[in-house]
Amino acid sequence: MRRTAVYRNQLFLEHRPGYDHPESPERLQVIYRELDREDTGSRFLYPGFEPASTEIIALNHSRALIEKVAATAGHAHDFLDADTATSEESYAAACLAAGALVDAVNRLDQGEIDNAFCLVRPPGHHAERDRSMGFCLFNNVAIAAWWAVKELGYKRVMIMDWDLHHGNGTQHSFYNFDSVLYCSTHQYPYYPGTGAVLETGAGPGEGYTVNVPLTGGQGDMEYACIFNELILPMAREYRPELVLVSCGFDIYDGDPLGAMKVTPAGFAYMTRVLVDLAAEVCDGRLLVTLEGGYNLQGMKEGALAVLTELCGERLSESYPQYLDGKYEKKLGESNRSSLQLASLDQAVGVVKNYWDI
């Protein structure tokens, strides 16, 4: 069994965007309840961690934005944009969420843990350098990537973003840099409107942004194809020193905000591919962080699938069996031409301009 760290804290439940807001504390509560079960929670490590300082958050964000978000502290309700609201503890929760990822990166770097899942709120991948948006206050995964590059000296960091929505903030954070390879699968055209297949980076970063914009309706087999035919061979060529995952469970079949068809088996498979990749190229250094997901059943089942693959052991006999890893056999049993893969074929055509896949 691997040493899998889980980052959780009650403060993440105190971020309350408002009644009926889809990014609710219940999203985490359903996962935390599973971790409170002895047969599940005892499998994991629970490190202590501190909030990210202003200086750490400023690795990715302007001082003006940090001050704007900080000014919401103690206020019952503020709006940073039409979709992004805060409560009294939101700023503190956002700082702690970023701090969780930085702590995990440090522990991975030191070999104290094998991998980690940061079960945090608020999410982060929409937050731009100078703007909170899309339910996100600070960009947790971008801050962690910059920490690895600027403070720990990493030369190659990979971010895999499988959230339903394109991570505009993360893409823009690294669009001109080759120190971070950003890969995103997302429903398109959809909020926030970015993530076209020809958005590939600029200057030294050209070719280090990879977008697979999907029409909707894609499920486990389509995502397995994307990972095996594009993400995995490209990552093997890049050979990241650290793999970060923006994990959105809003691609779950039944999520109210999306039209994807991924089941827990799909989440397990994608995680397994990245666990194996990290073991192959970077001593297993893999960090997963929570982004979206608005179906509570999908949140619970998806998180259990990811946690199962991270620790490498089935958590409970009551949990379903996931994909057994025999991708080629399963693909061979289905008709590839019946899969919705036009977007993958387009993305491969673009990526071949930069990578030998």
Tell me, what amino acid is at 326? K
Burial of 155 (0-12, 13-18, 19+ CB in 10 A): exposed
How many whole angstroms separate alpha carbon 190 and alpha carbon 207?
23
- The structure tokens listed for 127 are 């937050």
Per the annotation, the verdict on 126 as an active-site residue is: yes
Name the catalytic one among 126, 165, 166, 186.
126
β-partners of residue 6 are 117
Beta strands in the chain (DSSP E): 4-7, 78-79, 85-86, 115-118, 157-161, 180-187, 209-214, 242-247, 286-290
CB atoms within 10 A of CB 281: 20
- What is residue 321's DSSP assignment? P
The vertex-39 CA angle with 32 and 276, nearest 5°, equals 80
Pairing of strands 115-118, 85-86: unpaired
Tell me, what amino acid is at 93? A
Helix axes 26-35, 296-311, angle to 10 degrees: 40
- What is residue 230's DSSP assignment? I
Q: Are the CB atoms for 319 and 312 separated by under 8 Å?
A: no
* Sheet (strand 209-214) strand order: 4-7, 115-118, 286-290, 242-247, 157-161, 180-187, 209-214
Secondary structure element (H or E) that encloses residue 168, with its range:
helix 168-174
How many whole angstroms separate alpha carbon 329 and alpha carbon 344?
20
Q: Which residues are catalytic?
A: 126
